[in-house]
Chains A and B, each alone.
Chain A
């Protein structure tokens, strides 16, 4: 393990970071922090791209990973010193594990990947470096916005639409927690992210996906994510799917059928929406029910919807 004392520092004066004229923003620093930041700023100021600078960026990031300037500096050093990019990604893994909510890691990682792409023959080899990290972090926090976002970036960059791995991954996460909105969102990207709206799609393929979604809805009929997903499919492929089919499905989770298994707010809302033009009375009745019984916290919104029915 490399330590501070492995380098020479006599030739450089650390910048005194505690110096500021305004008493408004005094900060208490530890000696350690002062030393590390002081040298980092001094090195940055003279644009030094050396091993000791590389070392210092690691020290800073370990203390203050959201210090955005230091990431740019590290990247420049990595390029200058022609650092091993796979090892750099390894290093990045560790920082990510320690700082789950950090924003800066991910664009940095993406920049390293873009460099690495130029020297790698196989995209698969590259992706092999990504999956372990993403899998572990999602396991720790299944809705980590940054990690899902990075995964989205990979799908778009390497055109991983409808690949087995991505589909299985979203499937796993949805099976683990059907209410995981991030997983549903990712699935929509993986399945349909590269398809234009109002275009066509293999009917069998769509049908299978719709069946899968309906199964998940049936598991948990009050889950907004699965209903949103289903509606999104119908919207995107409105040229080949019929809204009547959606209606027939949704209505089963409302009071409009005999002995519904469960009454679902999402189903009620969807049904009311579908009936807005064709059967205003039904819509009104549903909005009234939502307002008084099933979703009173949004009663103002349901009243508004009701009133809208009779406006032109």
Chain B
């Protein structure tokens, strides 16, 4: 078995031409995220020129929400922290962050900072959904823009510390069940804040290691089924904690391969299920983290090409 790079390239490229795909138009609110997932997958596959750069940038800019600052998922959508991060990541990946004039940049920063609550957590938008995902999203976004300050970081770190559970892992909010995706956002957020010292490594590393099931795949919580996206959430967390050896990498590799659609390209959560761009990215990113298939190295904290991330100024480090 191998990674069907060319098939995946074609799959991602054709995502927009699914004119008869019923589910496609339901996901308008995910469009910016979807674009980020597709682009990052392409860059990792070393197919950076698949999308037309100008078209991508045009689309991103057309999602700018001038009323609130930040980017929505689609033109005329209210800005949201998730789509704002994806937009910033896309611009950064294409080396086009400067295309944002200072006024827009400032508005964006104000928008993101304005979503932080007194307890350090972040809302997704003014609507009020709170989730540790948004803490990571806020910190990552501000980090890429070089706008992190102690006023933002310190309370955020406090909040994350409270989301640490009795098993050493992290949940969505304090007290919520430990979940691998939440582990990633908390550990990566702490990495951005340069506070990995707060991680209970002795408990978290075994917890992450135990996500691997007999078939080689990774699950998100005890006694749940494996899913390719955990190839990212679990693996990146282990990578940040410098403990990738805790996973049987060859077994995971084979699991990821079996989740590919060998005819049409794309990767699904489990073998023989419906593929989507989200699982396609995270399967490929997992392989990259493990150093397989001659892929572009990906950064485990930012989920962007490592060489791009090198140009991000790291908080709290000389």
Contact between A103 and B222 (Cβ–Cβ < 8 Å)?
A: no
Could you list which residues of chain A lie within 8 angstroms of chain B, going by C-beta atoms?
A: 15, 17, 19-30, 33, 41, 63-64, 66-69, 71-72, 75, 103-104, 107, 111, 143, 145, 148-149, 152, 156, 179-182, 185-186, 188-189, 193, 223-225, 228, 231-232, 235-236, 269, 297-301, 304
A15, A19, A301, most chain B CB atoms within 10 A: A301
Q: State the Cβ distance, A174 to closest chain B Cβ, in Å.
A: 12
* Residues 9-53 (chain B) with a chain A CB within 8 angstroms: 16-21, 24-26, 28-31, 35, 51-52
- CB neighbours of B77 from chain A (8 A): 69
- CB neighbours of A143 from chain B (8 A): 221, 224
Contact with A along B173-194 (1 / 0, CB 8 A): 1011111000000000000000
**Of all chain B residues, which has the CB nearest A107?**
B129
Could you list which residues of chain B lie within 8 angstroms of chain A, going by C-beta atoms?
A: 16-21, 24-26, 28-31, 35, 51-52, 55-56, 58-59, 62, 74-78, 80, 124-131, 165-167, 171-173, 175-179, 205-206, 209-210, 212, 214, 216, 221-224, 245-248, 251
Q: Pull 16 A–B residue pairs with CB atoms less than 8 Å apart, ordered by A.
A: A15-B76, A17-B76, A23-B16, A24-B56, A25-B31, A28-B25, A33-B25, A63-B26, A68-B125, A72-B126, A145-B172, A145-B176, A181-B224, A185-B178, A224-B210, A235-B166
Contact between B28 and A67 (Cβ–Cβ < 8 Å)?
A: yes
Contact between A179 and B223 (Cβ–Cβ < 8 Å)?
A: yes
Contact between B129 and A297 (Cβ–Cβ < 8 Å)?
A: no
Q: Which of B18, B51, B175, B179 contacts A189 (CB 8 A)?
A: B175
The 4 closest A-B pairs by CB, nearest first: A232-B166, A22-B59, A72-B127, A185-B177
| Additional pairs, 12, CB under 8 Å, beyond known A27-B25, A180-B223 | A17-B76, A23-B16, A24-B59, A27-B31, A28-B20, A68-B125, A69-B127, A72-B125, A72-B127, A107-B129, A228-B166, A300-B246
**Of all chain A residues, which has the CB nearest B24?**
A27
**Of all chain A residues, which has the CB nearest B249?**
A300
Secondary structure call for the A interface: helix
Contact between A30 and B25 (Cβ–Cβ < 8 Å)?
A: yes
Bound CA–CA A299/B127 (angstroms)? 46
Q: Which of A28, A107, A152, A269 contacts B19 (CB 8 A)?
A: A28
Bound CA–CA A49/B74 (angstroms)? 24
Bound CA–CA A148/B18 (angstroms)? 36
Contact between B129 and A21 (Cβ–Cβ < 8 Å)?
A: no
Knowing A22-B59, A24-B16, A68-B80 are in contact, say whether A297-B172 is a contact too (CB < 8 A). Answer: no
B16, B126, B177, most chain A CB atoms within 10 A: B177
**Of all chain A residues, which has the CB nearest B224?**
A143
Contact between B25 and A66 (Cβ–Cβ < 8 Å)?
A: no
Q: State the Cβ distance, B216 to closest chain A Cβ, in Å.
A: 8
Contact between B214 and A181 (Cβ–Cβ < 8 Å)?
A: no
B56, B126, B209, B223, most chain A CB atoms within 10 A: B223
Q: State the Cβ distance, B29 to closest chain A Cβ, in Å.
A: 5
Knowing A72-B125, A103-B129, A224-B210 are in contact, say whether A301-B59 is a contact too (CB < 8 A). Answer: no
- CB neighbours of B179 from chain A (8 A): 145
Contact between B246 and A28 (Cβ–Cβ < 8 Å)?
A: no
Contact between A25 and B222 (Cβ–Cβ < 8 Å)?
A: no
Knowing A149-B176, A228-B167 are in contact, say whether A68-B29 is a contact too (CB < 8 A). Answer: yes
Bound CA–CA A17/B73 (angstroms)? 13
